[in-house]
Structure formats: C-alpha cells, structure tokens
Amino acid sequence: MLKKIIIKEQFEPGFLGVFVNPFYLTRKSLLKNIKLLSSEITGKTLDVGCGTKPYKRYFNSTEYIGLEVENTINKEEKEVDVFYKGDKIPFADKEFDSVISSQVLEHVFNPQQFLSEINRVMKPKAKLLLTVPFIWDEHEQPFDYGRYSSFGLNDLLEKHGFKIIKHLKSLNNISAVFQLFNTYIYKISVRKKIIRQILTLFVMAPINIISIILSKILPVNDDLFLDNVVLAEKERDV
C-alpha cells in the first residue's frame, strides 16, 4: 500500500508529495496543465512513450494503447501494450483519434521522423497532447538528446502538419528556480538512498514549501519555465 502511494505521488503529487517527491514542483505543475487540456483527448488514443500511463485516467478515451521502444529503461516497470523499434509506429494510417506523448520528445534522436510517424497514424483533425522539457537536467542517460523552446517546438510541429491550439508554459514562476535547486540536491545524493531520503524530507520539502509561498507573491516569467505543454491538431498529412 505504501509503495503504491509513493508511486502515485511521483506523477500525481498531493500534499504528501511535498515531503516525499524531489520533483514535486514540476510534476504538480505538469499535472495541472495536462488536466487543463485533457478533455480534448478522446476516442481511440495512442500514448507514445507511455511508461506507467500515469495520466490515462484523465482522458476521455474509448480505447487507450501504450507504446514504448524495445530498449526502454526499467522495461519491467512499464504498462506497455506494444513495443517497437523506435522508427515506424506499428499501426495503420489514420487509425487514432488522439495521441499523447509526455516527456518523450527529448529522448528522440530523430524528431522529424518521430513526428511524421505520429502524424501518419492520426486521423484528420485528431488531437495531439505533447509535453517536453525546456529547462531540465540530463536524465535517462545516454538517451537524452534535446531541449525545446516554445518557438522551436511550435515551428517543428507546424512543419509536420500540426496546428497549435494551445501552448502552456509549465512552472513559469519562481518555483522553477527552486525545483532546479532540488534537482541538484537529488542528483548529488542519488547513489545513497538513505541520504536522499533524509535530504528529501529535511531539505527539499522545506524548499517546496517556501517555493509555494513565494510563487503566490512573485510574478510569473514566461521566458523561464521548465516544460512545454502543447495541444495541437492534425491539419494535413506530411
């Protein structure tokens, strides 16, 4: 039971997440923005790079298929329906009403092919919900290949047949700075589990609380944010 609670707090952090999740600030903001756009994900949905399907319950899907590459890290912990080699998506043209891909694009070495394949399996006017970091540490090494500004991401999507409906900048306030500091602490303690747990509770948790307070006082900054959250519509084939 405790393990399930801890796992839930990693992607859907509540009050407990302040004290147990080193990435509380960014995950809380990401979840909030995904939920704002979640009603647009309907029908037959493909989750590309699905992992544990942490956001599945927020979508109005009639069928939900999780896709992962064969060489994915911690393969046994994922909730995958179909594995593929990372090139051609193993589904027919125009098969899906919606696609979600969360925190995956930065791990794709060939984003042009990746987005072309997503476009191919989407029906006309189908919706794409895409999240990808702008400012973040290297992670899941060595499979970490890129970061995207809002302008770069929009240009990339438009060139691959998508029309941007909504672009949200996730964690665009002082919390971004505090989250990066917590990430630094996490990374230097990651090899010593007991030390990481102590630091999470007694250092990172107070930082989370201070950040929450200051974010209510200080202004947002749309030039400094951690994640892009984009809702796009398939406008044309590519």
Confidence of residue 201 (pLDDT cuts 50, 70, 90): very high
Mean pLDDT, rounded, for 71-84: 79
Helix ranges restricted to H, the chain? 2-11, 17-20, 24-37, 111-121, 150-159, 175-189, 193-199, 205-215
Q: What is the pLDDT of residues 112-121, one digit of tens each?
A: 999 999 999 9
For the chain, give every domain's residue range: 2-234
pLDDT of 150: 98
- Of 75 and 20, more confident: 20
Mean pLDDT, rounded, for 54-61: 96
| pTM of this structure | 0.94
pLDDT of 85: 93
pLDDT of 3: 72
Residue 181 pLDDT > 90: yes
How far is residue 13's CA from residue 27's CA, in Å, rounded to a whole number?
7
- Average pLDDT for the chain: 95
How far is residue 48's CA from residue 106's CA, in Å, rounded to a whole number?
13
- Of 4 and 232, more confident: 232
Residue 78 pLDDT > 90: no
Residue 159 pLDDT > 70: yes
pLDDT of 93: 98
Q: What is the pLDDT of residues 108-142, one digit of tens each?
A: 999 999 999 999 999 999 999 999 999 999 999 99
The residues, any chain, with a CB within 8 Å of residue 190's CB and separated by 6 or more, are 196
pLDDT of 191: 84
- Spatial strand order of the sheet with 227-234 comes to 82-84, 60-69, 42-48, 96-102, 122-133, 227-234, 162-170
Confidence of residue 7 (pLDDT cuts 50, 70, 90): confident
Mean pLDDT, rounded, for 85-89: 94
Token pair for 55: 């956001």
Q: Which of 49-53, 176-180, 189-193, 201-205 has the lowest mean pLDDT?
A: 189-193
Residue 76 pLDDT > 80: no
Q: Which class does domain 2-234 fall in?
A: alpha beta
